[in-house]
Homo-oligomer: A and B are copies of this chain.
Amino acid sequence: MTNSARAYHHGDLRAALLDEAAAMITEEGAASVTMRELGRRLGVSRAAPYRHFADKTALLVAVAAAGFDRLSGRLQTNDGGGPRSSVERFRRMGEEYVRFAVENPAHYRLMYGKEALTRQDRPELREAANAIFDQLVGVFQAHQRSGAIKRQDPRAQAYVAWSAVHGLASLWIEGQIQATADIDGLTRQTTRTLLDGMRVRRRRGA
């Protein structure tokens, strides 16, 4: 009752706010999201959103959390299909991750870039982000069991890999990578380099 959708005056303003905010973010960037404009678009007064979110930050946090859920779902769906090698799983996961970011740049930026959001310890965000990270850790654990990569702390390995794909996505989104470059190619090269770098290798000298 408390959190489910019910039809009062507007119908379900809370959900409508989240949808509209997400739409504005993808269309015009997070900076364009305004409590007043949200009200205008939804045919509601400027203060109406405050009945559903404590403040603007809380609204954006909710939108970001929804983004995390969407990303997490995409990764899981893409991961689950059929018995694949852990190499293939990792490669696919990286590609899907970057693809999401490239397709939803403003949303991705909101999820990871906004200081105000992550700075405050919003448990929702923390949890949603952790779910994705744990998924990645799982891939590395499986990969270690298959004997393909070094037996190190899988969390550290996951951090290194996550950094690489997150960095690639961020730099691309922010336009720091020359447009002539091929993002898919770079993603593949990244995952391949990471896996090769973690692979068990025979000692040569010393």
Contacts and interface: CB of A to CB of B under 8 A. Distances in A.
Interface of A is mostly: helix
B115 A29 contact: yes
Size range of the interface on A?
Answer: 35 or more
A160 to B, nearest CB: 5
Contact of A163 (B30, B116, B118, B171): B171
A84 interface: no
Interface stretch (A11-19, A35-43, A73-81, A172-180): A172-180
Taken together, the copies of this chain in the complex come to: 2
Interface stretch (A2-10, A48-56, A139-147, A194-202): A194-202
B115 A109 contact: yes
B201 A197 contact: no
19 contacts: A31-B115, A109-B115, A112-B171, A112-B174, A112-B176, A113-B174, A118-B175, A133-B176, A159-B171, A160-B189, A162-B167, A163-B186, A164-B164, A164-B167, A164-B190, A192-B197, A196-B198, A196-B199, A201-B201
